[in-house]
Amino acid sequence: MIVKTYSGHNVPEGATRFRGDSVTHHPFFLKYEDGRQYSHAIPVDKFDWKKDSNTWSDLIELPQEPETFVPVVGEECEIKSNNNWNPIDILAVTAQHVIFNEIGKENEQIVYLLNRKFRPIKTEREKVIEWALKQDCPPCDGMLSRTDFCGELFDLGALKIPETKS
């Protein structure tokens, strides 16, 4: 099972470390189970965990929070800063840092990867759904049904009947 992505690669369930591409090896993930080390080659959907007795010195410890989003070079995403989500363009990602420009600005910045939260940019649909759900009122305000909720959204100007093509 894939639980998240890291450095542009799907992370297999149980992975705790990552080793990037090198002259001698392709990138892979590692996990430790019952005192044994296992490696998982990339792409994750084509390989399984295998026992690994090698000693690796250049492993990256993976962030373990399930909601961790690790940005990929060249993609646009958002970074949380002062309780706001700001759109950014990723220029580089290392084991410990992210270098980015804020979209619409020429201000290259570098931040420590594990101290910041990143997320994909929300689609317009996701933004509208999030906004609509925030309009929900507790039953004490008289909204006891979906009909009441739709009526409230209409009153806020959020609903209209789509035009039909004849």
**For range 44-73, the mean pLDDT:** 78
Q: What are the extents of the domains in the chain?
A: 2-61, 76-120, 124-155
Residue in 58, 62, 70, 69 with CA at minimum distance from that of residue 23? 58
Global pTM reads 0.44
Rounded to the nearest integer, the mean pLDDT of the chain is: 79
Residue 82 pLDDT more than 70? yes
Residue in 67, 104, 68 with CA at minimum distance from that of residue 89? 104
Residue 150, Cβ neighbours under 10 Å: how many?
A: 14
Residue 11 pLDDT more than 70? yes
Nearest 5°: CA angle at 45, between 40 and 51? 20
pLDDT bracket for residue 165 (50, 70, 90): confident
**For range 129-155, the mean pLDDT:** 68
Residue 141 pLDDT more than 70? no
Alpha carbon distance 28, 9 (integer Å): 9
**For range 82-93, the mean pLDDT:** 89
